[in-house]
């Protein structure tokens, strides 16, 4: 190539780069952090966790399927099934073992039914406008999984060269997998794709997701989305998992902060810290799962009533109207008063309870008020300052269509509270009483111990979109 031609080619390449047509980019321009898109059907979705063993007296998929219209009436959208796979026998805990000690990733636990039962469960959920995610245990298997014999090289070894449970936990019924092995990664990916293709499930809740390499999850999500759009929930608190793999992650620290406040161990600081971190550290698209209880909390730490006492109602309401994708654990609608056995049959004693109507109304509000939607679709919480900052949490969530103002007296003492600045002012309806109210800085609101007020902007006075 002569000098003149070389100079011309170089000039063209430089011009293309300057015009953004090459690989060079301005390093000072903001770059998208999240490169995964949640399905549209998750925008106002709520979660309902089903512990199949305890959900019905039969403890089967067929019996659970019969309950789906009732769950739908509560306003639940995404059904999370705890692990459905056969459970290992070796080193089993209790009589029935832990669902998280998986023996076969390609089968259904006979305790719950058959593969066809699962397909019918999923099909019925879809008919009712709901979605189904499976609980997936990628980090470890049962001691007697077929993989132990077929692929012993896929497991980690301890200093003695032996298989071992996950370090530092009393998980003696499982052994740790080694994700440095490409064959394991392919196997696990193919197994998860199988349930999406063949059973029609809509995604996964991934157990101890942060114990599995992020690059595995990133590749998995690409392959699952090539089949159909899926919803992925990580049992983890890690922003990196949201970048290319997960739509939602656990708000463990929300639950812990609310528990500290309810038990009188702190003021509002932990909750304010959680919400500050949510706004400033986590990507806008990330959905944080807020929950009052789940299978872990209920079995090992206490019922929601033990954990939150008189504050349980406020905790439930805040879990739904605050930022987050809310979870209801089966039995909450019945005010389940006991810790469900984890390794034995211990069916929920179903009964009428006020929490059923509370959740139904809250889930209906979440769907109707676009400011309360999930992730990028909803509005951030904006703090509203008040004259009882040590005990009253108050905030607005607002977009061009909807507005909600909420206040929580997170203390055991009744109080009167006034609010500052103009953000909260306006004409509202008290969501739980139906009363029309006009709020401004001169109006004091009386609140009982652990009380809450949720005000929805009067649509007749809403600002134009």
Supply the CATH number for residue 151's domain: 3.20.20.80
pLDDT of residue 16: 43
Domain annotation covers residue 208: yes
Of 423, 435, 427, 438, nearest to 462 by C-alpha is: 427
Residue 248 and residue 118 share a domain: yes
Residue 115 and residue 133 share a domain: yes
CA 70, CA 78: separation in Å to the nearest integer? Answer: 14
Question: In this structure, what token pair is assigned to residue 382?
Answer: 């904006």
Of 442, 403, 435, nearest to 419 by C-alpha is: 442
Q: Do residues 5 and 338 lie in contact, with contact meaning Cβ atoms separated by under 8 Å?
A: no
Q: Do residues 344 and 267 lie in contact, with contact meaning Cβ atoms separated by under 8 Å?
A: no
Instruction: Write out the H or E segment, with its range, that includes residue 405.
Output: strand 403-409
pLDDT of residue 3: 43
Residue 130 and residue 89 share a domain: yes
Residue 395 and residue 326 share a domain: no
Q: Do residues 61 and 117 lie in contact, with contact meaning Cβ atoms separated by under 8 Å?
A: yes
CA 241, CA 239: separation in Å to the nearest integer? Answer: 5
Instruction: Please identify, among 350, 377, 404, the residue that sits at the C-terminal boundary of a domain.
Output: 377
Domain annotation covers residue 133: yes
Q: What is the pLDDT along the chain (465 residues), one digit of tens a residue?
A: 444 444 444 444 444 444 444 568 899 998 899 999 999 999 999 999 999 999 999 999 999 999 999 999 999 999 999 999 999 999 999 999 999 999 999 999 999 999 999 999 999 999 999 999 999 999 999 999 999 999 999 999 999 999 999 999 999 999 999 999 999 999 999 999 999 999 999 999 999 999 999 999 999 999 999 999 999 999 999 999 999 999 999 999 999 999 999 999 999 999 999 999 999 999 999 999 999 999 999 999 999 999 999 999 999 999 999 999 999 999 999 999 999 999 999 999 999 999 999 999 999 999 999 999 999 999 999 999 999 999 999 999 999 999 999 999 999 999 999 999 899 999 999 999 999 999 999 999 999 999 999 999 976 544 433
Domain annotation covers residue 14: no
Q: Do residues 392 and 407 lie in contact, with contact meaning Cβ atoms separated by under 8 Å?
A: yes
Residue 435 and residue 313 share a domain: no
Q: Structurally, how many domains does the chain consist of?
A: 2
| Residues in CB range of 14: below 8 A, 6 or more apart | none
Q: How, if at all, do strands 174-176 and 140-142 pair? A: antiparallel
Instruction: Please identify, among 377, 398, 428, the residue that sits at the C-terminal boundary of a domain.
Output: 377
Residue 244 and residue 181 share a domain: yes
Q: What is the CA radius of gyration of the chain?
A: 25
Domain annotation covers residue 301: yes
CA 144, CA 86: separation in Å to the nearest integer? Answer: 11
CA 305, CA 190: separation in Å to the nearest integer? Answer: 41
Supply the CATH number for residue 453's domain: 2.60.40.1180
Domain annotation covers residue 177: yes
134 forms bridges with which residues in the sheet? 81, 204
Residue 448 and residue 318 share a domain: no
Domain annotation covers residue 30: no
CA 322, CA 314: separation in Å to the nearest integer? Answer: 11
Residue 363 and residue 318 share a domain: yes
Tell me the residue range of the domain where 144 lies: 40-377
pLDDT of residue 223: 98
Alpha helices in 200-296 (DSSP H): 214-225, 241-244, 252-262, 269-281, 295-296
Residue 140 and residue 50 share a domain: yes
Domain annotation covers residue 334: yes
pTM for the model stands at: 0.93
49 forms bridges with which residues in the sheet? 80, 329
Instruction: Please identify, among 377, 397, 418, the residue that sits at the C-terminal boundary of a domain.
Output: 377
Domain annotation covers residue 328: yes
Q: How far is CA 195 from CA 189, 192, 348, in A?
A: 10, 6, 28
Residue 391 and residue 312 share a domain: no
Q: Which backbone phi and psi does 199 adopt, to 5 degrees?
A: -105, -15
Residue 303 and residue 320 share a domain: yes
Residue 417 and residue 456 share a domain: yes
């Amino acid at each position: 190539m002569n000098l003149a031609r070389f100079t011309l080619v170089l000039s063209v390449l430089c011009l293309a780069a300057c015009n953004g047509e090459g690989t060079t980019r301005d390093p000072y321009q903001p770059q998208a952090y999240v490169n995964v898109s949640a399905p549209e059907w998750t925008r106002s979705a709520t979660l309902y966790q089903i512990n199949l063993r305890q959900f019905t007296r039969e403890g089967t998929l067929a019996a659970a399927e019969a309950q789906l219209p009732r769950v739908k009436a509560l306003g639940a959208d995404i059904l999370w099934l705890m692990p459905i796979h056969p459970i290992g026998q070796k080193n089993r805990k209790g009589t029935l073992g832990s669902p998280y000690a998986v023996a076969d990733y390609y089968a259904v636990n006979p305790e719950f039914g058959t593969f066809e039962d699962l397909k019918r469960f999923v099909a019925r959920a879809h008919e009712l406008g709901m979605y189904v995610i499976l609980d997936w245990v990628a980090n470890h298997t049962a001691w007697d999984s077929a993989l132990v014999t077929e692929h012993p090289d896929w497991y980690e070894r301890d200093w003695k060269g032996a298989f071992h449970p996950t370090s530092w936990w009393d998980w003696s019924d499982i052994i740790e997998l080694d994700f440095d092995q490409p064959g394991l990664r392919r196997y696990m990916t193919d197994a998860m794709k199988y349930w999406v293709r063949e059973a029609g499930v809509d995604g996964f809740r991934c157990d101890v997701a942060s114990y599995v390499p992020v690059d595995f999850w990133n590749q998995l999500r690409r392959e699952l989305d090539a089949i159909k759009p899926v919803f992925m929930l990580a049992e983890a608190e890690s922003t990196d998992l949201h970048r290319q793999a997960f739509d939602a992650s656990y708000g463990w620290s929300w639950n812990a902060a609310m528990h500290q406040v309810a038990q009188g161990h702190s003021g509002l600081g932990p909750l304010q810290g959680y919400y500050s971190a949510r706004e400033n550290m986590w990507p806008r698209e990330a959905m944080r799962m807020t929950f009052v209880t789940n299978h872990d909390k209920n079995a090992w730490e206490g019922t929601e009533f033990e954990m939150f006492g008189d504050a349980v109602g406020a905790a439930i309401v805040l879990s739904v109207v605050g930022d987050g994708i809310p979870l209801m654990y089966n039995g909450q609608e019945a005010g389940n008063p006991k810790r469900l056995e984890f390794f034995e049959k211990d069916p929920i004693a179903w009964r009428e309870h006020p929490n059923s109507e509370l959740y139904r109304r809250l889930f209906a509000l979440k769907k109707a008020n676009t400011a309360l939607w999930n992730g990028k679709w909803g509005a951030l919480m904006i703090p509203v300052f008040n004259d009882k900052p040590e005990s009253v949490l108050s905030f607005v969530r607002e977009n061009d269509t909807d507005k909600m103002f909420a206040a929580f007296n997170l203390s055991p003492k009744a109080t009167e509270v006034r609010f500052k600045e103009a953000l909260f002012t306006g004409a509202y309806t008290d969501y739980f009483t139906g009363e029309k109210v006009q709020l401004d800085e001169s109006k004091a609101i009386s609140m009982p111990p652990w009380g809450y007020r949720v005000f929805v902007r009067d649509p007749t006075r809403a600002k134009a979109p």
